Amino acid sequence: MFVDSQTALPTIGELLAALGVETTPVFPETPGAPVVAVDTPEEWEEVAREYLPACYRAWALPAFEDATGPEAQWADNVVIMAWRLSRPVDSTAVMRCAYTDSRRLPQWCELGGQAREHGGFPSAAIRGTYAHGELTLWCSTRYVVVDTLDGQHLVQLTVTTLADENDDGRYIADSVSVRASYAGPELPDTGFEQEIDVSEAGGTAFRI
């Protein structure tokens, strides 16, 4: 397993895999799934699920008609993913790993991040720019852990735009709301004070 050199922490996906936690995609119509909403400007178009079948919801802004070069092939986008976890995990451990994916992006330049509740749920967000071919992109990613009677869910919102045209992206990222479809019980503290050794998968031990 590759471990992020800045944080010595795995990605959330690597953490869940090391703990043996399976993830199942859920959608707005899935019973018990979290309710996730964003405000999108009028020009943004919702992406049909047939193109992103595992996605909770997604929108894109087609390139402007007068765009040329690499920008003509790019579409700003917002993608919401949501998964039901096979068993509860410690949300603090999850949020400590929330920045690793972004920090591995090519030429990542971090603009800010925070780890605090969002809508009453454990959450972490990070923003920055990175290189994608000839383009420089702006990206904002937020993770939220939602506990309900139906189980524990992980929500991810990622907004990606051209770096010099990110007003829509900032607006969308700031508008996200997440709520449980119904209130759930308080889950027991799972700890995670122990060292998690994932060397059997070719990785490195890390402490959460």
The pLDDT of residue 188 is: 45
Tell me what the mean pLDDT of segment 5-20 comes to: 86
Judged against a pLDDT cut of 50, whether residue 148 lies above it is answered with: yes
The pLDDT of residue 6 is: 52
Query: Is CATH 2.30.42.10 the classification given to domain 12-182?
Result: no
HSE-CB for 85 with a 13 A CA cutoff: 25
Query: Residue 197, by phi and psi: left (phi above 0), alpha (psi -120 to 50) or beta?
Result: beta
| pLDDT, tens only, 105-144 | 999 999 999 999 999 999 999 999 999 999 999 999 999 9
User: What is the residue-averaged pLDDT of the chain?
Assistant: 85
Please give the structure tokens belonging to residue 155. Answer: 């929500």
Q: Give, as one character, the DSSP assignment of residue 118.
A: B
- What are the residue ranges spanned by the domains of the chain? 12-182
Residues 6+ apart with CB under 8 A from 202: 1
Query: Which is more confidently placed, 69 or 155?
Result: 155
| pLDDT, tens only, 71-93 | 778 999 999 999 999 999 999 99
Please name the amino acid found at residue 205: A
Judged against a pLDDT cut of 80, whether residue 197 lies above it is answered with: no
